[in-house]
């Protein structure tokens, strides 16, 4: 029987509303919290001699396809943001979706970063090798009475989520399985249907200050932390890894803005420090839609086939955020010198 079955919930606690703000920076406090046990030396916790700033950043691609220039621009911005402050920059491979992950994509993605001149500290970390950390986090949530089993099918969730349910945003899970009786839960377990694990967030309200988007507020629904196929969910792994790796600044695509309140809420429940966030605009295709394969030559390999070198692409990406002209071939360290992290918002808007 999978270890994620048989969770219990704490009943009788009244719903709580809470507002949470990012934990203030504390100089010198970074790295692995005590709950995960001994710091993991294999996880890229290298300290650079130039350290001392709380701006360690990362790029965390999923090896389920090729990176396109929009992904690469986000990587470049995250890299510039960290490096311009003398901070560490880590690469983490988010490969938990075993059915879609391909090693060749990982190899290609890392090669693309290298080709653009984006370097990183320590070994590349793979989420598929970090189950113990995620298990520890789930155990902590279980002990706090914050998890419950969910047997809903996709269709059931769609149907339930489309009905109005108070303060929760559209599409949010309305807590159907939280309201099951003990007998109903037993029936589902006995039927052999595998359960996902959800957090009990009680519609918590989270606010945070995004470096680019300003103040953001979100309501946290009861999101999944372990899928019913046993895979650890994205929101859990990201929160655990960012804290374990000492990431203090998350620079990533604006498509992930909506998941940030969930992640901040979860981090607080786990007693982890909250990183700062900057959600950068996605690159769009000529039709105004989010850049994708169908827009043509969008990968480094596509561009190479057109005779464009990685230096050409880096110049194009840098120019698109106001760092140099497309005809300028600035080396990575020259871009760093021209990048003012304190003015990231202006840089991206330019």
Rule CB under 5 A: which residues touch Zn ion? Answer: 150, 152, 176-177
CA–CA distance, 299 with 283 (Å, rounded to integer): 13
CA–CA distance, 332 with 338 (Å, rounded to integer): 10
Angle 234-244/131-143 helices, nearest 10 degrees? 100
Q: Which two tokens stand for residue 158?
A: 């769609």
Query: At its nearest, how many Å lie between Zn ion and the CB of residue 176?
Result: 5
Phi and psi at residue 277, to the nearest 5°? -130, 140
Query: At its nearest, how many Å lie between Zn ion and the CB of residue 197?
Result: 11
Query: At its nearest, how many Å lie between Zn ion and the CB of residue 152?
Result: 3
Which lies closer to Zn ion via its Cβ, residue 150 or residue 161? 150
Q: Of 63, 68, 70, 64, which Cα lies nearest the Cα of 91?
A: 63
- Angle (nearest 5°) at CA 251 between 250 and 256: 85
103: CB partners within 8 A, 6+ apart: 63
Q: Which DSSP letter does residue 137 get? A: H
CA–CA distance, 320 with 110 (Å, rounded to integer): 22
Which lies closer to Zn ion via its Cβ, residue 176 or residue 260? 176
Query: At its nearest, how many Å lie between Zn ion and the CB of residue 136?
Result: 25
CA–CA distance, 37 with 103 (Å, rounded to integer): 29
Query: At its nearest, how many Å lie between Zn ion and the CB of residue 150?
Result: 3
CA–CA distance, 321 with 334 (Å, rounded to integer): 15
Query: At its nearest, how many Å lie between Zn ion and the CB of residue 134?
Result: 21
Which lies closer to Zn ion via its Cβ, residue 94 or residue 222? 222
Query: At its nearest, how many Å lie between Zn ion and the CB of residue 141?
Result: 17
The 10 Å CB-count burial string (b at 16+, else e) for 286-325 is: eeeeebeeebeebbbeebeeeeeebebbbbbbbbbbebbe
Q: Of 249, 238, 223, 272, which Cα lies nearest the Cα of 134?
A: 238
Which lies closer to Zn ion via its Cβ, residue 55 or residue 231? 231
Segment (H or E) for 266: helix 260-269
Segment (H or E) for 301: helix 300-305
Which lies closer to Zn ion via its Cβ, residue 84 or residue 176? 176
Which lies closer to Zn ion via its Cβ, residue 18 or residue 156? 156
Query: At its nearest, how many Å lie between Zn ion and the CB of residue 342?
Result: 45
Which lies closer to Zn ion via its Cβ, residue 151 or residue 265? 151
Which lies closer to Zn ion via its Cβ, residue 150 or residue 268? 150
Query: At its nearest, how many Å lie between Zn ion and the CB of residue 21?
Result: 31
Which lies closer to Zn ion via its Cβ, residue 32 or residue 197? 197
Q: Tokens 């009244």, residue?
A: 14
């Amino acid at each position: 029987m999978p270890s994620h079955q048989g969770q219990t919930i704490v009943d009788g606690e009244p719903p709580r509303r809470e507002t949470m703000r990012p934990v203030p920076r504390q100089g010198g406090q970074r790295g692995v919290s005590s709950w995960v046990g001994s710091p993991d030396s294999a996880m890229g916790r290298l300290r650079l001699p130039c350290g001392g700033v709380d701006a360690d950043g990362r790029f965390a691609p999923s090896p389920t396809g090729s990176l396109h220039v929009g992904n690469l621009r986000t990587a470049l911005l995250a890299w510039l943001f960290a490096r311009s402050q003398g901070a560490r920059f880590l690469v983490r491979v988010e490969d938990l979706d075993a059915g879609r992950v391909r090693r060749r994509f990982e190899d290609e993605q890392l090669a693309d970063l290298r080709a653009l001149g984006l370097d990183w500290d320590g070994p590349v970390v793979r989420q598929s090798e970090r189950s113990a950390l995620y298990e520890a986090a789930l155990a902590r949530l279980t002990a706090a009475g914050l998890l419950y089993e969910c047997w809903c099918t996709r269709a059931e969730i769609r149907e339930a989520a489309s009905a109005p349910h108070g303060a929760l945003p559209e599409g949010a899970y309305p807590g159907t399985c939280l309201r099951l009786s003990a007998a109903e839960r037993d029936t589902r377990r006995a039927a052999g249907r595998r359960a996902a694990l959800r957090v009990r967030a009680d519609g918590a309200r989270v606010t945070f200050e995004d470096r680019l988007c300003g103040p953001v507020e979100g309501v946290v629904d009861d999101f999944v932390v372990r899928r019913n196929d046993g895979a650890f969910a994205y929101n859990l792994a990201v929160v655990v890894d960012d804290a374990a790796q000492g990431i203090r600044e998350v620079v990533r695509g604006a498509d992930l803005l909506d998941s940030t309140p969930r992640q901040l809420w979860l981090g607080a429940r786990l007693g982890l420090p909250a990183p700062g966030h900057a959600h950068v605009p996605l690159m769009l295709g000529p039709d105004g839609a989010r850049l994708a394969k169908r827009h043509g030559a969008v990968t480094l390999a596509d561009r190479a086939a057109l005779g464009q070198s990685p230096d050409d692409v880096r110049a194009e990406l840098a120019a698109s955020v106001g760092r140099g002209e497309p005809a300028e071939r600035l080396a990575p360290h020259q871009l760093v010198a021209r990048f003012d992290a304190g003015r990231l918002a202006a840089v991206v808007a330019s």
